[in-house]
């Protein structure tokens, strides 16, 4: 994963950068939040796009805020 230092993470769906001190979304399902494979989404729409492949029975997007730099 390329990181030029100007953003915190990239969206797991669209690969757009997620900056510091910014809202982002995680999946409510615990297997999507394991340390090594954790998923981060820049918007609810991107989280939504992850659902067809993930086959969750019961999931929602959780709003989070990235750390300050």
Binding residues for Zn ion restricted to 8-67, rule: CB under 5 A: 11, 13-14, 16, 27, 29, 32, 42, 46, 54
- Phi/psi region, residue 52 (left: phi>0; alpha: psi -120 to 50; beta: rest), is alpha
Beta bridge partners of 18: 9
Q: What is the closest distance, in whole angstroms, from the C-beta atom of residue 43 to Zn ion in the complex? A: 6
By residue count, the chain amounts to 69
User: Contact at 8 Å (CB) between 23 and 50?
Assistant: no
Total residues at the site for Zn ion (CB under 5 A)? Answer: 10
Pick 31 or 69: Cβ nearer Zn ion: 31
Pick 4 or 61: Cβ nearer Zn ion: 61
3-state SS class at 43? coil
Give me the residues that bind Zn ion (CB under 5 A), please.
11, 13-14, 16, 27, 29, 32, 42, 46, 54
């Amino acid at each position: 994963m390329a990181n030029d230092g100007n953003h915190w993470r990239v969206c797991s769906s669209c690969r757009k950068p997620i900056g510091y001190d910014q809202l982002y979304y995680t999946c409510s399902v615990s297997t999507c939040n394991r340390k090594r494979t954790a998923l981060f989404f820049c918007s609810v729409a991107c989280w939504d796009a992850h659902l067809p492949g993930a086959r969750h029975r019961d999931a929602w997007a959780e709003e989070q805020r990235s750390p300050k730099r």
